[in-house]
Structure 1
Amino acid sequence: MIGLIPFPDIGPDIFTLEIGDFAFSLRWYAMAYIVGIIIGWRIAVRAVKNASLWRNDTPPMTPSQVEDFLTWIVLGIVLGGRLGFVLFYQPAYYLQNPAEILMIWQGGMSFHGGMIGVVLAALIYCRRHWLPVLSVADMMAIATPPGLLLGRIANFINAELWGRPTDAPWGVAFPGAAAQDCPDVVGLCARHPSQLYEAGLEGLILGGVLLFLAWSRGWLKVPGQITGAFGVGYGLSRFIVEYFRQADAQFITPDNPMGHVLSLGPVGMSMGQLLSLPMIILGIALILWARRRV
């Protein structure tokens, strides 16, 4: 390949502690979840402490409620993310191997599934405590991008979810037989570092835009606007990156090398695009609906 950057010499484990026959490893992916949740929690607490950001100067939660709510969010992320991966991406495999569904440490999480899990957890929590659902959703939206940023960087470190082959000068030679299995390529195969594309779009750019809208444009005063903006921003980011990201192996066949799950003549959509399209549509609809209620 013309452009090729060697994969950095870094493993998936930050460190490993061995005590006799017992070994404990802290992985970058787990650390990304932990740090992302902590940063999101602090953003949410800071937001609810600033009453002037919210409609009628009334935050949807108290700081102590945010801490209690965090437990529900973690459960929604883990359970929803895992079940989403099982149902959306490898249902046939897990139907034959149901015992592996709970083996989260083996990898396999879906953002869209995690989002559904978080939404359900938030709805239950809000109903139990009589909290304004849309304002709570807005608070969650501004707190989410740091976790997306760190999670995608961890995907890169794990050398997973890499992109399609490329001649771009920033193409990365990811390790592993699967990553190096590129048709018509002699020597090392460079691929798009699509994980970093997503980190930049979903984490840095989307996060910056949402914080700007919340703190400088008063969007939290109109419940639902920030949530809609998150849906549009994430959906567009993921839809774009899917053009550079390698499709999941189970969707790729000799007759479908691009891994499309929906074909529309000469073009098609991947599973990620198919799941992101409703987010864009619903996000736009939510913004318009929220503004009309003002």
Structure 2
Amino acid sequence: MTLFEMIIWSPSPEMFVIPGLNHPVRWYGLLFALGFILAQQVMYWIFKTEGKKQKNVDQLTMYLVIAVVVGARLGHCLFYNPGYYLSNPFEILKIWEGGLASHGGAIGMLIALYLYSRKHADQSYLWILDRVAIVTVLVGACIRFGNFMNSEIIGLPTGSDSGIVFARSAEDMFTSLDSRIEEVSFEKGGKIESTEAGKIPMTIHLEYKRTVKLDEANAKLFFETTLPRAIDRYYGVAEHIALPANQAVVYDTYERRGVQQADVAVLAIPRHPGQLYEALACVIMFLILAHIWYHHRSQIKTGFLFGVFMMMLWSERFFVEFFKENQEAWEADIPLNMGQWLSIPMFIIGLVVVIKCWGFTPKDKKAE
């Protein structure tokens, strides 16, 4: 028995389909939007508390949404695969195919807030950076939970019985291989034993459509030949499930209540939930920054909150990267991955700002 037992995670990335339009609403998009809605409400409260015009929050939100989306997309394209995207510039526009970089989003925000502050004499650049820092981590928490619902930005294998088995790719593989499969489900345990740490017995249960009748010869071909090849071929599947080496595939086919069923014994690979690590860290950072602002904003210099935010956010990102898969294969050939290299200058910026602000008690807050 382990402290945190293995969890099998296989939700659909689609929350529901809009009736009549046949358009799916995805968890990621909904949580992305929710993050900005929550951030906007908190900013209303901050502006009201500090006597600023609340109507400015709507303009500020528009600046931030555009900056984050454009900056994060350009950051992903230019930081991780510049050769491909510069050769195929129209691919940059395909944001629906995924690929957003938080470092790019951060740079986009810094530029957008500078432009915003120039239009508002009562809100200096550092003043607005301090306040936006509080809500930025709230948005980050929602986005990372959206990544978790999408089973993306996965962590490294834990090498133990604990962790998350991201089984969605295996579910998609089975329904793609055989359209007659109605439902795929998973449960812990099975008819095989593991001789490797970090590979845990798991059973994949297949339920076929009611009209299907399994032929023994075809079933043997599917489970013993097609399936092993598919696990290696389908994107992302081999990262989460495996078959015992040098052993025949263990499976059973049977009928229950007039419906054909099949059980396949595999080895699951639990991984670190890197998305949840970051989401939890963002919630903690929000509470810290909100506490400092609410109780101590009259004792700290403008810019201090922004500096603390930069130090916390990018140090968290640097260390969590040790538990996450690299986004690009070439990152395995460098001592730190791209996310970590990009986090170092961001942290240094925060450190410099904190040092400049440390121990300063503002005498006149009117300019802010």
Aligned CA distance change for structure 1 residues 162 and 207 (closer, same or farther; 3 Å): same
Pair 1:238 & 2:317 matched: yes
Pair 1:194 & 2:193 matched: no
Deviation at 1:260, TM superposition (A): 5.0
Deviation at 1:86, TM superposition (A): 0.6
Q: Note if contact 1:162-1:179 (Cα within 8 Å) is conserved in structure 2.
A: no
Aligned CA distance change for structure 1 residues 200 and 123 (closer, same or farther; 3 Å): same
Deviation at 1:281, TM superposition (A): 1.2
State which of 88, 93, 98 in structure 1 corresponds to 2:89.
98
Pair 1:35 & 2:34 matched: yes
Give distance in 2, aligned partners of 1:41 and 1:179: 39
* Equivalent residue letter for 1:270: N
Deviation at 1:183, TM superposition (A): 11
Aligned to 1:178: 236
State which of 110, 124, 127 in structure 1 corresponds to 2:101.
110
Aligned residue-pair number = 270
Partner of 2:22, secondary structure, is strand
* Equivalent residue letter for 1:159: S
Aligned to 1:286: 353
Q: Highest Rg: 1 or 2?
A: 2
How do residues 38-77 of structure 1 correspond to structure 2 at under 5 angstroms? Answer: 38-51=37-50, 61-77=52-68
Give distance in 1, aligned partners of 2:333 and 2:301: 38
Q: Note if contact 2:154-2:274 (Cα within 8 Å) is conserved in structure 1.
A: yes
Partner of 1:165, secondary structure, is coil
Pair 1:126 & 2:131 matched: no
Q: TM-score, normalised by structure 1?
A: 0.84
Give distance in 2, aligned partners of 1:183 and 1:29: 24
Give distance in 2, aligned partners of 1:42 and 1:210: 16
* Equivalent residue letter for 1:286: V
Q: Note if contact 1:152-1:198 (Cα within 8 Å) is conserved in structure 2.
A: yes
Deviation at 1:120, TM superposition (A): 0.7
Deviation at 1:18, TM superposition (A): 5.5
State which of 105, 120, 143 in structure 1 corresponds to 2:135.
143
Query: What RMSD, in angstroms, separates the aligned Cα atoms of the two structures?
Result: 2.3
Partner of 1:16, secondary structure, is strand
Aligned to 1:256: none
Give distance in 2, aligned partners of 1:148 and 1:102: 22
Q: Note if contact 2:9-2:165 (Cα within 8 Å) is conserved in structure 1.
A: no
Aligned to 1:265: none
Q: Runs in 1 of length 4+ with deviation above 3 angstroms?
A: 181-186, 291-294
Runs of 5+ consecutive residues of structure 2 not aligned to the other structure? 170-234, 245-266, 363-368
Q: Note if contact 1:141-1:230 (Cα within 8 Å) is conserved in structure 2.
A: yes
Give distance in 2, aligned partners of 1:75 and 1:236: 26
Give distance in 2, aligned partners of 1:179 and 1:283: 39
Compare the two structures and name the one with the higher strand fraction.
Answer: 2
How do residues 139-288 of structure 1 correspond to structure 2 at under 5 angstroms? Answer: 139-175=131-167, 176=169, 177-178=235-236, 180-181=238-239, 186=244, 187-201=267-281, 203-218=282-297, 221-252=300-331, 259-261=332-334, 268-288=335-355
Partner of 2:39, secondary structure, is helix
Deviation at 1:39, TM superposition (A): 0.8
Q: Note if contact 1:164-1:244 (Cα within 8 Å) is conserved in structure 2.
A: yes
Deviates more, 1:130-139 or 1:163-172: 163-172
Give distance in 2, aligned partners of 1:165 and 1:29: 24
Aligned to 1:10: 11
Deviation at 1:181, TM superposition (A): 3.3
**Deviations for 1:143-166, whole angstroms, at most 9, x for unmatched residues?**
111111111111111111101111
Q: Note if contact 1:219-1:225 (Cα within 8 Å) is conserved in structure 2.
A: no
**Deviations for 1:176-208, whole angstroms, at most 9, x for unmatched residues?**
34253379995222211111111111x111111
Give distance in 2, aligned partners of 1:93 and 1:204: 36
Give distance in 2, aligned partners of 1:244 and 1:155: 15
Deviates more, 1:98-107 or 1:165-174: 165-174
Runs of 5+ consecutive residues of structure 1 not aligned to the other structure? 52-58, 253-258, 262-267
* Equivalent residue letter for 2:326: A
Compare the two structures and name the one with the higher helix fraction.
Answer: 1
Aligned to 2:210: none
Q: Note if contact 1:214-1:220 (Cα within 8 Å) is conserved in structure 2.
A: no
* Equivalent residue letter for 1:155: N
Give distance in 2, aligned partners of 1:220 and 1:32: 35
Seq. identity, %: 30
Give distance in 2, aligned partners of 1:171 and 1:6: 6
Aligned to 1:54: none
Q: TM-score, normalised by structure 2?
A: 0.68
